[in-house]
Structure 1
C-alpha cells in the first residue's frame, strides 16, 4: 500500500466520523431551544471560574461558562479559567518527563498509522533497548494515570456530600422537589428558599415562552436578561418562536451556598421535565422539538441582595 493510498484511507475515515457526528450535533442543538439555549451562561460571583460541587442530582461536572460578564481577575477570588485538575502531564516538575513520554507514545502511534508497527515511528530506538524503554515508559504513564484517576474520583466523592455535609445527602428526596440542605453550610438555605428556586424555574420558563422581557427583568439579573434578549432576537430573525410548557421539577439539591458582602449566592442542581418546541411565527408549524416531554439537568445559580428576593444569575449545563 502506498503513502497516497494510506492518506486516502485516513481521509475517508475522518469523513465517516464527521458524517456520524454532525447529524447528532444538529439534533442536540435543535433540542436545546429552551431558556438559556442549552449553553452555560451567567456569573457566580467570585466562583464564576470554579465549578460547583457535584450532587446527587448532577453527579457530573458542570460545564464552564460560554457567556459571562465576569472577567478573570476581576475579584480577589477569581482567577483565569482553571485547566483540567492535576494530571501527570500538567503537574509541576513533571513536564519534562511527561513530554518525553508523550513523544514516545506519539511516535508509536505514527508508526502504527503509517504501517511501521507500534514502534516504527522511532528509528533511533528500533533496537531491543529502545523497545524496553518505550514499554517501561508506557507502563509508568498508565500507572500514574490510574493513580491520578483514583484520586480524582475520591475528590469527586467528597464533593458529592461535601459543600453541605453528609446531612444534605441523607435528607435528599427523589421525585418530590428539593432535598433540604444542611444547616452547617456557610449560608443556610431554608425550605422557603427551595420553594423560591422551584417557583423561579417555572416563572422564568413561562416568561421566556411569552417573550416577556419586562417579566424576565424581575426574575433574573441584567446579565442573564441580556442573554435571553439576544436569544429571543435570534429567534425573531429566524421567524420562529420557542414555546415551553409544563415545566415540572423532578429532583433537585443544593450544590453550594455562600455569601459575598451583602449578596447571597446559591447554586442548585435541578432535573426537570418540560415540553420544548419551536414554531414558525407565520404558520404555527412545528420547526423543532416535539409534543413529548423531555428531561433536562442543569445547575442554576441564584443571587439575593441582603433583604431582597432571589433572582437567576447563571445556568450551567451538566
Structure 2
C-alpha cells in the first residue's frame, strides 16, 4: 500500500514538472533566427513535393516544405502549419498530453471517465493508449503530407560532381538539363548575401526585389513574430564556403535552379529594448541550406524556396 502511494506521488510530481516544461519545449522548437533558420518553405514548381538530389555540400536529404502555396488546401501560414514535425499533430498532442497530466495531478487519472483508474496498472494502460493514438496520428500525418519523400535516397553515384563551375559551386553530373552559367552562380551567391542583409535590416521592400511574393509573405510573417517577441535578428559577415547545383530545369517560361549552400555568418538575436543578445553570439558559425531560385522569361533570379537539411 505504501509502495503504491509513493509511486503515485512520484508520478504526480513528474506530471507537474512535465506540464510546466511542455510549453517551454514547444516555444524553443518554434524559435527561428537567420532567414529560413529552422524552417523550410516556398515552392519549387512541379517539383515542390519532390526531394532535390543530395550533393557533396548537402549529403543529407532536404527536409519537406513546412509552408507552401503549391498544394491546394494546405495551410500556407499559421503557427500550426509552419513548424517542422508539429502541424495538426503538435497542437493535438500538446493539448491531449497537457490535459491528461493535469487530470493526473488533480487525482482524476489521465482520463477521468475511465472508471477512476488510479492504480499503477491503470496508469500504464492509459499511457499505452495515448502512445497508440499518437503513433497512429503521426503515421497518418506523414503519409498525407510527405508522399514524395517515401522513395529511396539517391545513391553515392548521384552525388558525384564534375569540374567546378566557378564561384565555389560544383555541378551535378546528370541533373542539370537547364544550363547554369558562371553568371548564374554569381547571382546565387549575391542573393545569399543580399537576402540575409535585407532580413537583418527588416527591409521588406528590398526583399520584394530579391524573392518571390510567396517567400516575402513568409519573411514578413516571421519578422512580425520577432517584433511581437521584442527582438530583432542580426545577420552579418555572410560568406559562401561551398555550393553545389542539385538540379536545374525549365517549366514553360520559368527556369528553376536548386543549389546547396554551405556558408559562414554571424547570427544573433538581440532584444530591441536593451540590445542584449538573447540567441546566437558574435562568433561566426556555419549553416547549410538548400535554396531554390526561379526566373521568368530570362529575367533575374529570385529566391523561391528554402529547405533545411
Q: With structure 1 as the length reference, what TM-score do the two structures score?
A: 0.63
Q: Are the equivalent residues in 1 in contact too, given 2:295–2:302 (CA < 8 A)?
A: yes
- Measure how far apart 1:193 and its partner are: 0.7
SS for the counterpart of 1:47 is coil
Find the counterpart in structure 1 of residue 258 from structure 2: 267
SS for the counterpart of 1:156 is coil
Q: Are the equivalent residues in 1 in contact too, given 2:246–2:259 (CA < 8 A)?
A: yes
Establish whether residue 312 from structure 1 lines up as the match of residue 303 from structure 2. Answer: yes
| CA–CA separation in structure 1 for the residues paired with 2:173 and 2:233 | 38
SS for the counterpart of 2:36 is coil
Find the counterpart in structure 2 of residue 35 from structure 1: 35
Q: 1:7 to 1:214 in 2, by over 3 A?
A: same
Establish whether residue 170 from structure 1 lines up as the match of residue 162 from structure 2. Answer: yes
Alpha-carbon displacement from aligned partner over 1:217-248 (angstroms, at most 9, x marks no partner): 00000000000001111111111111001111
Aligned positions of 1:261-300 closer than 5 A: 261-300=252-291
- Measure how far apart 1:201 and its partner are: 0.3
Find the counterpart in structure 1 of residue 64 from structure 2: 64
Select which of 194, 197, 202 maps to 1:211.
202
- Measure how far apart 1:156 and its partner are: 3.4
Find the counterpart in structure 2 of residue 91 from structure 1: none
- Measure how far apart 1:290 and its partner are: 0.8
Find the counterpart in structure 2 of residue 156 from structure 1: 153
- Measure how far apart 1:33 and its partner are: 0.8
Aligned positions of 1:1-318 closer than 5 A: 30=31, 32-71=32-71, 156-158=153-155, 161-162=157-158, 169-172=161-164, 177-182=168-173, 185-318=176-309
Unaligned runs of 5+ in 2: 75-120, 122-149
| CA–CA separation in structure 1 for the residues paired with 2:204 and 2:279 | 23
Q: 1:184 to 1:61 in 2, by over 3 A?
A: closer
Q: 1:69 to 1:9 in 2, by over 3 A?
A: same
- Measure how far apart 1:295 and its partner are: 1.2
Hey, which bits of structure 1, 4+ residues long, moved more than 3 A? 2-30, 155-158, 180-184
- Measure how far apart 1:18 and its partner are: 10
Unaligned runs of 5+ in 1: 75-113, 115-151
Alpha-carbon displacement from aligned partner over 1:2-48 (angstroms, at most 9, x marks no partner): 99999999999999999999988876765x41112420000000111
- Measure how far apart 1:190 and its partner are: 0.9
Alpha-carbon displacement from aligned partner over 1:121-166 (angstroms, at most 9, x marks no partner): xxxxxxxxxxxxxxxxxxxxxxxxxxxxxxx99x5344x543xx85
Find the counterpart in structure 1 of residue 93 from structure 2: none
Alpha-carbon displacement from aligned partner over 1:204-224 (angstroms, at most 9, x marks no partner): 000000011010000000000
Find the counterpart in structure 2 of residue 141 from structure 1: none
- Measure how far apart 1:252 and its partner are: 0.9
Q: 1:181 to 1:293 in 2, by over 3 A?
A: same
| CA–CA separation in structure 2 for the residues paired with 1:252 and 1:245 | 19
- Measure how far apart 1:185 and its partner are: 2.4
Alignment RMSD: 3.5
| CA–CA separation in structure 2 for the residues paired with 1:8 and 1:259 | 64
Q: 1:182 to 1:282 in 2, by over 3 A?
A: same
Q: With structure 2 as the length reference, what TM-score do the two structures score?
A: 0.65
Alpha-carbon displacement from aligned partner over 1:34-71 (angstroms, at most 9, x marks no partner): 11242000000011111111111111111111110111
Q: Are the equivalent residues in 2 in contact too, given 1:209–1:242 (CA < 8 A)?
A: yes
- Measure how far apart 1:178 and its partner are: 1.1
- Measure how far apart 1:275 and its partner are: 0.9
